[in-house]
Amino acid sequence: MRTAATNQPPSELLSGIFLARRPTGPIVALLVVLAALVVGQALVLIPFAILGGDASGLLGGRMGLDDQLVMTFSFAGAAVLLLLWIRFKERRPVGSVGFRPATRVPARLLLGAGVALAALVLPVLVNLASGQFTLDEPVFRAAHAGGVLLALAGFAVQGSTEEIVSRGYLMQTAYRRWGLTAAVVFQLVVFTALHGANVGVGVVPLLNLVLISLLLAFWALAEGGLWGVCAFHVVWNWAQGNVFGVEVSGMNLETTLLDTEGAAGSSTLLTGGAFGIEGSLVTSAVLAVGVVVAAQVFRRRRHDSAPA
């Protein structure tokens, strides 16, 4: 078993679990996460359905803004339940899951958002330039701007919750018991499995889920926290769906600034098909470069911080 006494964690991110007076093991932690996701989201989704909300988009159809906001904000219930577990069962500060120390936060958020946009623009432009994607008229939908901004708030809840769960809580609990390599693999397997039933999933989308799990894991470890990866995840999802108008892990959104679609005869290997640009081989190349860079930054910072 990995304990605080054996050696210094290789990242500040992983030290949070050692503040717990009653730490949770990784298998129980996974069960807690699954329960928080199911119960927390149900606390929002069930009342919405009872009150007569149109949930067709939540069941796989084209998702209007109302459905999108309900779905994304429902992750707040999961986040609250998990943070309550951390605070009252494990008896440690909720910030220890990945938000300590809170230094250079604006810079970390801007970096995450900027990298997400850059990493997404390249595969979209490649597909547009090669004729794989087309833009529907009107090209820019100014009337949707207000809804697009609201959608950003929803994705801020959803994306941040997924990072707290995977790159935060699960990686911490697995590191304490099994060590660094197993912790990275553990969060990767869970994150990929949770997205594995989405519309349009296939070999390339699964490959890209693995790559993005590795990219964000090494990034969080290098930073020592979750600020940057939360910003990346939020903007990555939001820009795909509400800005460029492509599917987001199989979700087809209505409220978009652009409406980007696969051209007749386009290759799903390049466009991602029904899964969206996350299922593109161009995205695979971008993410693979990101993994290498993030891993090298983590390795260098780990070496620099090692005791002489």
**Continuous segment of H or E residues that includes residue 290:** helix 281-305
Residue 39, number of CB atoms within 10 A of its CB: 12
- CA 187 → CA 139, 140, 213, distances in Å? 39, 38, 7
Rg (CA), the chain: 19
And the tokens for 110? 């801007």
- Averaged confidence pLDDT in the chain: 90
Percent of the chain with pLDDT strictly greater than 70: 94
The mean pLDDT value for 22-51 works out to 90
Q: CB under 8 Å to 24, separation ≥6 — which residues?
A: 32, 85, 89, 90, 173
Domain locations in the chain as residue ranges: 12-305
Question: Half-sphere exposure of residue 301, counting CA atoms within 13 Å on the CB side?
Answer: 18
pLDDT at 306 over 80: no
291-304: pLDDT as tens digits: 999 999 999 988 88
39-54: pLDDT as tens digits: 999 988 887 777 665 5
pLDDT level of residue 135 (50, 70, 90 thresholds): confident
Q: What is the pLDDT of residue 147?
A: 93
More confident residue, 109 or 274: 109
pLDDT at 148 over 90: yes
pLDDT at 5 over 70: no
Q: Residue 229 in contact with residue 216, Cβ under 8 Å? A: yes
Strands (E), the chain: 133-135, 260-262
- Written as one letter, the residue type at 229 is V
Q: What is the pLDDT of residue 59?
A: 53
Q: What is the pLDDT of residue 252?
A: 87
